[in-house]
Structure 1
């Protein structure tokens, strides 16, 4: 099964370099490594002369907000055009385990899982030491994130809660990718596009399968909780999601913004907006995301 790894990228070149080294050290080398540069003209130099050979696809940033959904779609289109049968998506911060690609391929070969949305575990690494991370030590540095299923190596677990899907590390066959329809490109900037993709998979009748033995290791970088730097992106993308699916995503963050006076719920418009405006929030019956750490 010809396999492509697809990574959207904008900066974080050290993280991308370690991901590249992780792919080279794996038990199975991808047939394609497609890196989608979102207004990052220096990526070619970062990737040059390394194996596996990378193909850089340019994705212009038109509004100042990173078009992550469009970048993944462009990367998938290039990979499929060149014959990829299995698409493995890794965020730029994620380093695959030694057997991650081999495990995704193994599961995708099984008839009952060929149409599945395959999700491996993700472990969030502590800050690196003065000499950076060592590939061989990554599995010893952190356990899989507790907010997602973590089957043991060799095990699979059917999932029913598509809200748990995240785009840090997942795989689909090319046929399943077309069934889902890719990522919705109405989302720009941080937040929402992966939750939307999970709902598109659910609506298309694509099973969700959590895959043991396909780990990814998320390299440390500074984050804020809630992610106040992405306030406007999250409000805009949450509204897009609500319009498309009828419920609010990322409500833990939205309420955290409201607690800090950074955003408010306007009951007369039924919308979230920037800035404080009293203490009117959606009723307790509104749906809320499960615990998530992202970025």
Structure 2
């Protein structure tokens, strides 16, 4: 007789054939006594072998949904959440490796704490490289420390790759907002909507997962920053009352450098080119200088993306 799952893990996946095996291995290794859970993987078009991999998975109670074309992460998340059968709904990106107590800790948090949102922090895992030594590893440490130190009123900003709510909360707060078309901020938007509904958010250190899909170089990281800057502008348009300001370059020589560099980034491709130039410099310069150069590219790209988004909005009026 089939047993209804206590928890559902929703995994949005785009070209994830190389990433999914590590996630599935870690889910299959959950500790003894873990409540029954299912895994719902949404393959967001462009099947790269992911479907065959999922169909051959026999260790887990797993279902897959396949979009015939790429529809984006928001659509994949909404489809997965709506198809899920558990009472605890866990969003988990396909490039994570989760700890053995992952599912049990998510379920326990909702069982013991009433109506809450739960955030599992992530720790970026970098392969050795000039970028990792100069910028990536340090940024990863700071990001994890930041997540673990946030006061309750700021935790909505952390809603991201590993988080959970109950089915009741999903039905109350609703779907992820499909007005976010590119990379980033659909999660922060959902965290803010939880906050606005009066639902507290807990950050549970025991849920810390390894993130094996961070940007591998300054070019890729600059592209993400550019797209996130544009998405941040979308968030500010949708939630003008939210306690978040505009991205600012700052003052002094550093601020001037950021503004001048941002002015050269008229497009996603331009941001990638600037980051790529810095990647070529990183093996040749001292690490402290390399860190500054990578930070310059990333900060500038974020401001450039936000500026472009605002300009496009004004032209559309």
TM-score w.r.t. the length of structure 2 is 0.67
More helix by share: 2
Larger radius of gyration: 2
**Root mean square deviation of aligned Cα:** 3.4
Structure 2 CA distance for partners of 1:54 and 1:183, relative to 1, 3 Å: same
Counterparts of 2:86 and 2:193, CA distance in 1 = 22
Equivalent residue number for residue 121 of structure 2: 121
Task: Please identify which structure carries the higher strand content.
Answer: 1
**CA offsets, 1:112-153, max 9 Å, x none?**
x2310111221212328xxxxxxxxxxxxx898122016xxx
Moved more, 200-209 or 214-223: 214-223
Of 186-195 and 41-50, deviating more is: 41-50
- Is 1:36 the equivalent of 2:35? no
1:23–1:258 CA distance, 2 compared to 1 (3 A): farther
Match of 2:25 among 17, 21, 25: 21
**CA pair 234-204 structure 1, distance change in 2 beyond 3 A:** same
Q: Secondary structure at the match of 2:169?
A: helix
Structure 1 contact 118–209 (Cα < 8 Å) conserved: yes
Q: Structure 1 stretches of 5 or more lacking a match?
A: 129-141, 151-156, 265-270, 277-295
Counterpart-to-counterpart distance in 2, 1:149 and 1:235? 23
Distance 2:235 2:260 in 1: 19
SS of the residue 2:210 aligns to: strand
8 A contact 1:124–1:220 mirrored in 2: yes
Give the 5 Å matches for 1:34-183: 34-41=40-47, 42-50=49-57, 51-59=59-67, 61=69, 67-79=72-84, 83-110=85-112, 113-127=113-127, 145-149=144-148, 159-183=152-176
What is residue 232 of structure 2 aligned with on the other side? 238
Which consecutive residues of structure 2, in runs of 5 or more, have no partner in the other structure?
129-140, 250-254, 268-305, 312-317
1:184-203 equivalent positions in 2, closer than 5 A: 184-203=177-196
Hey, what's the Cα distance between the residues in 2 that align with 1:250 and 1:163?
A: 18
- Residue pair 1:5, 1:30 contacting (<8 A) in 2 also: no
CA spacing shift, 1:60–1:259, aligned 2, 3 Å: farther
> Would you say the 8 A contact 2:37–2:61 is kept in 1?
no
Alpha-carbon distance in 1 for matches of 2:10, 2:77: 7
